[in-house]
């Protein structure tokens, strides 16, 4: 059975890669910067994204978000409070988003769209918040330009070593919840060293959605990445 | 391809269930209470288990642990400091433990064993720390008697609603890191309500590995479960 699984898995990933390559072309043609946010459940992806959407909109940017969860539309409702168009993808048991799910949720975007890629042409930034999972999303390209691995100060500094596939495939790393670094006994030097061991030279942002620390640097990075 | 995946997945789970049933018989015959600890990465399974092993050993109990991670033996080394026999299972990319992995790691246990089930006969408690993942481990029975879902105060009170499969299949829930509940703005009532909505009447332990709060109640629960 193992051989069949390996073959089937290879087939699934190959098909996903093809769909993702198509999405990447569409995103590039439409001039929209697409980011895929991946982390453990509870790292604070949604809180981080709430501020990001709000701040980008305050600067006049055209932003939108897709958010994946097994169940509930809690996150979409939180993100929609920013005023940005947001869509929830419920995977109903699937532990990651894939390129096909993204493709299906791009069409006919309310408030942005008319037609198909018209929706994308109106956008500058599209954020995809993946299902909370440090393992499975790593293997599924969503056509993003930037994969962001998030890690909170509460999770233990060795997570990059224990989940190398994600950190190794990430373009940027975001440390969240810096406001509670002290009560959590967070060892900053060790965390930075571990991230750099897996992905040398990666851009790292140390942030807090509560105090706003690190967000300015992050927003500048986004503007540069789009330019 | 979807039909083939569904069929294959059904086959894999069926095979796992058969192996798990065999393990459950072995564990029952040997009189060892087996627990499967599942949570998000960074919830504090290892810290919680460190205290549990140490306290049980201080009471003269025969305990051991199996610990799953994609990579590294960090957790096994941490747990071994308790003096209990511990084995690391590296899954190398697989996002959960399965019954076959458990079976393979039971034989010839150093320091406890001679022969095969001789190792189990010497044990009273076997703790299995799963790969940090709130999704995939839910589907894989490991032959445990008690499945424990852990959730830290840092992760957001809605996790039981967003990951219902795990909480719905759990026999006990453990809330960790109660010592930092206040700086995290943890809403205790909401968390308890959400756990109870998914799994009404489940035993819930509110704990801190740092202060030791809630551990007495947990240890009493373990003793009762074994009796």
Q: Which tens digit of pLDDT belongs to each residue from A5-48?
A: 778 888 899 999 999 999 999 999 989 999 999 999 999 999 99
Q: Under an 8 A CB cutoff, do A159 and B95 touch? A: no
- Report the chain B residue with the minimal C-alpha distance to residue A135: B95
Q: For residue B183, give how far its alpha carbon lies from the nearest alpha carbon of chain A (Å).
A: 7
Q: Which residue of B has its CA nearest to A94?
A: B135
Number of residues in chain B = 227
Nearest residue of chain A to residue B156 (CA atoms): A42
By C-alpha distance, which of B6, B91, B173 is closest to A92? Answer: B6
Task: Give the residue from A92, A64, A87 showing the smallest Cα distance to A77.
Answer: A87
Query: Looking at residue B116, what is its pLDDT?
Result: 45
The tens digit of pLDDT for each residue in A41-80 reads 999 999 999 999 999 999 999 999 999 999 999 999 999 9
Q: Is residue A113 pLDDT above 60, yes or no?
A: no
Residue of A15, A70, A132 lying closest to B40 (CB–CB) = A132
Of A95, A180, A184, which is closest to B136 when you measure between CB atoms?
Answer: A95
Burial (CB count within 10 angstroms: exposed 0-12, middle 13-18, buried 19+), residue A189: exposed
Written as six digits, the tokens of B105 are 């790691």
Count of alpha carbons within 13 Å of A145, Cβ hemisphere only? Answer: 19
Dihedral over Cα of A79, A81, A82, A86: its sign:
positive
Kindly list the residues from chain A whose CB atom is less than 8 angstroms away from the CB atom of residue B135.
70, 93, 95, 131, 133, 136
Q: What is the mean pLDDT of residues A146-172?
A: 96
Interchain contact, B162 vs A40, CB within 8 Å: no
Q: How far is CA A68 from CA A45, A75, A95, B121, in A?
A: 11, 8, 9, 45
Cβ contact, residue pair A165, B93, below 8 Å: yes
**Interface mutation vs chain A, best among B6, B39, B42, most A CBs within 10 Å:** B42
- pLDDT single digits (tens) B132-188: 999 999 999 999 999 999 999 999 999 999 999 999 999 999 999 999 999 999 999
Which of A130, A135, A131 has the alpha carbon at shortest distance from A159? A135
CB contact under 8 A, A180 and B184: yes
- Rounded CA separation A193/B173 (Å): 34
Query: In this structure, are residues B159 and B130 in contact, taking their beta carbons and an 8 Å threshold?
Result: no
Q: Would you give the DSSP letter of residue B145?
A: S
What residues in B contact A135, CB-CB < 8 Å?
70, 93, 95, 131, 133, 136
Helix pair B45-58, B215-226: axis angle to 10 deg: 70
- Average of per-residue pLDDT across A196-224: 98
Distance CA A195, CA A145 (A): 20
Name the residue with tokens 């193992």.
A2
Least Cα separation, residue B121 to chain A (angstroms) = 32
Q: What is the pLDDT of residues B151-164, one digit of tens each?
A: 999 999 999 999 99
Mean pLDDT across chain B, nearest whole number? 92
Of B11, B12, B70, the CB nearest to A135: B70
**Which H or E element spans position A67?**
strand A63-69
Strand, helix or coil for residue A83: coil
The order of strands in the sheet holding B86-90 is B86-90, B63-69, B125-129, B33-38, B146-152, B172-176, B203-206
Q: Provide mean pLDDT across the span A172-201.
A: 97
Q: Which residues of A136-151 are buried (b: 16+ CB within 10 A; e: fewer)?
A: bbbbbbbbbbbbbbbb
Residue of A nearest to B151 (CA): A42
Contacts of B134 in chain A (CB under 8 A): 41, 132-133
Question: Average pLDDT of A171-183?
Answer: 97
Output the pLDDT for position A57.
96
Residue given tokens 């029952």 in the structure block: B28
Of A12, A165, A183, the CB nearest to B183: A183
Nearest CA in chain B to A69: B162
Test B133 with A135 for CB contact under 8 angstroms: yes
Which neighbouring-strand residues pair with B69? B90
Nearest CA in chain B to A93: B135
Query: B149 to chain A nearest CA, in Å?
Result: 14
Tokens in use for B153? 């105060």
pLDDT tier at A108, thresholds 50, 70, 90: low
Neighbours of B179 (CB within 10 A): 17
> What pLDDT is attached to residue B113?
40
Residue B114 has a pLDDT of 41
Q: In what order do the strands lie in the sheet with A146-152?
A: A86-90, A63-69, A125-129, A33-38, A146-152, A172-176, A203-206
| pTM of the predicted structure, to 2 decimals | 0.91
Number of CB atoms found within 10 A of residue A77's CB: 12
Q: What is the pLDDT of residues B46-95, one digit of tens each?
A: 999 999 999 999 999 999 999 999 999 999 999 999 999 999 999 998 99
Interface contact flag, B162 A132, Cβ < 8 Å? yes
| A105-109, A204-208, B107-111, B214-218: segment of lowest average pLDDT | B107-111
Closest in B72, B155, B163 to A158, CB measured: B72
Question: Considering CB atoms only, which of B5, B69, B134 is closest to A162?
Answer: B69
Coil, helix or strand for B69? strand
A149 falls in which pLDDT band (50, 70, 90)? very high
Chain B residue with CA closest to A156: the answer is: B42
Q: Chain B residue closest to A181 (CA)?
A: B183
- Closest-CA distance, B79 to chain A, in angstroms, reads 15
Name chain B contacts of A180, Cβ cutoff 8 Å: 154, 180, 183-184
Give all domains of chain B, ordered by start, each with its CATH number.
14-226 (3.40.50.300)
Task: Tell me the ipTM for this assembly.
Answer: 0.86
| HSE-CB of A102 using CA atoms within 13 angstroms | 31
Q: Find the DSSP H helices in chain B.
A: 2-30, 45-58, 74-80, 99-104, 118-121, 159-162, 164-169, 188-198, 215-226
Question: What is the predicted pLDDT for the residue at B197?
Answer: 97
Name the residue among B159, B164, B183 with its Cβ closest to that of A41.
B159
In order of A48, A53, A124, A163, the CA distances from A98 in angstroms are 22, 23, 22, 19
């Amino acid at each position: 059975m193992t051989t069949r699984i390996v073959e089937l898995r290879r087939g699934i990933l190959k098909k996903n890669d093809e769909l993702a390559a198509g999405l990447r072309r569409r995103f590039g043609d439409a001039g929209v910067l697409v980011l895929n946010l991946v982390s453990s459940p509870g790292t604070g992806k949604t809180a981080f994204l709430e501020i990001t959407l709000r701040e980008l909109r305050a600067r006049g940017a055209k932003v939108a978000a897709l958010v994946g969860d097994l169940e509930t539309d809690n996150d979409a409702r939180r993100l929609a409070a920013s005023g940005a168009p947001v869509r929830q993808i419920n995977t109903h048991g699937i532990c990651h988003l894939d390129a096909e799910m993204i493709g299906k949720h791009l069409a006919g975007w309310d408030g942005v769209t008319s037609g198909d890629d018209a929706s994308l042409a109106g956008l500058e930034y599209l954020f995809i918040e993946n299902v909370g999972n440090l393992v499975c999303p790593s293997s599924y390209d969503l056509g993003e330009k930037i994969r962001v691995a998030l890690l909170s100060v509460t999770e233990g500094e060795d997570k990059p070593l224990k989940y190398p596939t994600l950190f190794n495939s990430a373009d940027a790393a975001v440390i969240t919840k810096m406001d509670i670094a002290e009560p959590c006994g967070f060892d900053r030097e060790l965390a930075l060293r571990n991230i750099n061991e897996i992905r040398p030279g990666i851009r790292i942002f140390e942030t807090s959605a509560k105090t706003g620390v690190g967000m300015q640097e992050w927003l500048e990075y986004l503007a540069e990445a789009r330019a």
